[in-house]
């Protein structure tokens, strides 16, 4: 526990057996609950998570071939912590920074913090193409929302239980990443902020198609700004399964 508050970590995974093992070995002792949501893995991700004492859930739903967003949604519903930390299972995000982030949230009474990878200490950790894409999306959001993100596509964020119950997420795929920050930013009942954390080279191959996903983010952000995104517009395949 931290500050007498229970802390949960939610980790969505697809075929991350090597990186996940490395990540789970680093989990600090003050973390009360680790939730791994396995999204159709074909490797040993499930066994690795179980062997490290994580609560594991199988997420079979996909949208456009990937269920990243559905995995996060399932993890949020299952998490019991007063604070919920979300991070990718590729061991690129710093578990040692969790205490610092929550400390700032406690002091400033924040509900949601997006953990920016920018500025990067090691520029090679994110390819030039991806860095440019992030800058374009950041600028687009500034023009549409008046808030300048340093990193709209970070895979790490921290929220309190209040936030988790008010975000009303719909995206089942990669669009969950911008959606969850925009949902928190635009919710008048939540206090939102962005905070820098270190970022490291990933272990294993990325499952993301850069160009297709990037263009999809542009469309999603525009539609979200004008309330054109709904659950009815999301194509769902499969269902969530508790393991």
Q: Which domains are delineated in the chain?
A: 7-241 (3.90.550.10)
Residue 13 pLDDT exceeds 80:
yes
Q: Which pLDDT does position 230 carry in this prediction? A: 63
Residue-wise pLDDT tens digits, 85-104: 999 999 999 999 999 999 99
Mean pLDDT of 176-201: 96
Average pLDDT over the chain, rounded to an integer: 92
Q: Say if residue 47's pLDDT is above 70.
A: yes
φ/ψ of 175, rounded to 5, equals -65, -15
Mean of pLDDT values over 97-122: 97
Contacts 24+ apart (CB under 8 A), 101-107: 101/158, 101/195, 101/197, 102/2, 102/3, 102/5, 102/7, 102/158, 103/2, 103/3, 104/193, 104/195, 105/158, 105/160, 106/3
Section 108-136 average pLDDT: 95
Distances (CA, A) of 196 to 116, 142, 199: 5, 18, 9
Among 76, 49, 38, residue whose Cα is nearest residue 179: 76
pLDDT at 46: 96
- Its sign, for the CA torsion 97, 123, 146, 70, is negative
Could you tell me which of 144, 135, 138 has the C-alpha nearest to residue 228? 144
Q: Are 152 and 137 in contact (CB under 8 A)?
A: yes
Whether the predicted pLDDT of 8 surpasses 50 = yes
Sequence-separated (6 or more) residues with CB below 8 Å from residue 97 = 115, 197, 198
Q: What is the pLDDT of residue 240?
A: 47
pTM assigned to the model: 0.91
What is the Cα–Cα distance from 38 to 18, expressed in whole angstroms? Answer: 14
Residue 240, H or E segment: strand 240-242
Q: Out of 12-21, 197-206, 211-220, pick the least confident.
A: 197-206
Q: Provide the pLDDT confidence category of residue 35 given band limits of 50, 70 and 90.
A: very high
């Amino acid at each position: 526990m931290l500050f007498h508050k229970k802390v949960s970590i939610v980790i969505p995974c697809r075929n991350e057996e090597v990186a996940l093992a490395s990540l789970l070995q680093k989990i600090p002792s003050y973390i009360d609950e680790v939730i791994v949501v396995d999204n159709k893995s074909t490797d040993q991700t499930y066994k690795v998570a179980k062997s490290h004492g994580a609560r594991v859930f199988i997420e079979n739903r996909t949208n456009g071939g990937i269920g990243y967003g559905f995995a996060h949604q399932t993890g949020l519903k299952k998490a019991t912590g007063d604070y919920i930390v979300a991070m990718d299972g590729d061991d690129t995000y710093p578990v040692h920074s969790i205490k610092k982030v929550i400390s700032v949230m406690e002091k400033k009474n924040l509900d949601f913090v997006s953990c920016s990878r920018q500025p990067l200490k090691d520029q090679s950790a994110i390819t030039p193409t991806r860095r440019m894409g992030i800058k374009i999306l950041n600028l687009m959001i500034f023009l549409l929302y008046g808030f300048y993100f340093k990193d709209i596509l970070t895979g790490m964020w921290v929220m309190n239980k209040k936030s988790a119950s008010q975000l009303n997420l719909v995206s089942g795929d990669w669009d969950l990443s911008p959606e969850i920050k925009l949902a928190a930013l635009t919710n008048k009942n939540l206090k939102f902020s962005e905070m820098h954390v270190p970022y490291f080279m990933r272990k294993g191959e990325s499952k993301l198609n850069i160009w297709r996903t990037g263009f999809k983010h542009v469309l999603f952000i525009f539609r979200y700004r004008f309330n054109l995104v709904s659950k009815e517009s999301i194509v769902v395949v499969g269902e969530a399964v508790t393991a």
